[in-house]
Amino acid sequence: MKLLGHDGSPFVRKVRIALEEKRIGYDYVHARSSEPGSTLWQHNPLSKIPVLITDAGKPIYDSPVIVEYLDGVSGDPRLIPAGFEERIDVKRWEALGDGIADATVLTSHDYDKVQSAEWHRRQRLKIERGLAAMAKDLGEREFCFGERFTLADIAAGYALGYIDQVTPDIDWRKAHPNLARLAERLAQRESFRKTLPEK
């Protein structure tokens, strides 16, 4: 398998963490649509990363679909529960993580500040409300869902890591100490250490 992406993308990191947790071998190919002569569109017509290219040459995008694919083609450890209600609960965590990361991407990439102050305020509120929802759902548990590591933990961990990476002015640790403890535990996992972007 090949994974197309770059280290600055939180969604690429999500997939890389899943690949590491599943112990699936892959070639990591640095690609981004903004590079001159990029052929990313040949694998994803939307020219977005990440893109997973299967051994059969089939491109799969985007990150929620890729992670579900990986969980389906490889057995244990399961990242997404089989039961319907449990599956929806874990996918809900993924939606929260993706939403927080998406709002963080939007605000950090608005380099020329073409958007209004109100627009930035709304994005910041999405991040703050998403974090509050994560903190409430986590409570004092060790894992985000159930009694073991799942995609829910990946979603929370990569979103928190991305906030640290690009918007360190958000002091989420002080506001949500239980998320801080979760982040510390996740940072010890090999999958999180191996995929940590360079500063």
Nearest to 63 by CA among 132, 185, 138, 162: 162
**Does 100 map to a domain?**
yes
Query: What does pLDDT average to over the chain?
Result: 94
DSSP state letter for 78:
P
Instruction: State the residue range of the domain holding 150.
Output: 84-189
pLDDT computed for residue 111 by the predictor: 61
Q: Based on the domain organization, do 54 and 98 belong to the same domain? A: no
Tell me how far apart the alpha carbons of residues 133 and 138 are, in angstroms, rounded to a whole number. 8
**Does 199 map to a domain?**
no
Q: Based on the domain organization, do 47 and 88 belong to the same domain? A: no
**Does 159 map to a domain?**
yes
Q: Based on the domain organization, do 61 and 8 belong to the same domain? A: yes
The phi and psi torsions of 5 (rounded to 5 degrees) equal 175, -170
Stretch 15-41: mean pLDDT, rounded? 91
Tell me the per-residue pLDDT of 100-150, one tens digit each, with 9 for 90 and over.
999 999 988 776 677 888 988 999 999 999 999 999 999 999 999 999 999
Q: Based on the domain organization, do 103 and 181 belong to the same domain? A: yes
Buried b (16+ CB within 10 A) or exposed e, 55-74: eeeeebbbbbebbbbbbeeb
The total number of structural domains that make up the chain: 2
pLDDT computed for residue 76 by the predictor: 87
The phi and psi torsions of 28 (rounded to 5 degrees) equal -100, 115
Rounded to the nearest 10 degrees, how much is the dihedral formed by the CA atoms of 59, 61, 66, 69? -60
**Does 196 map to a domain?**
no
Handedness of CA 70, 72, 74, 79 (dihedral sign): positive
Q: Based on the domain organization, do 14 and 65 belong to the same domain? A: yes
**Does 194 map to a domain?**
no
Model confidence, pTM = 0.94
Nearest to 51 by CA among 39, 152, 158: 39
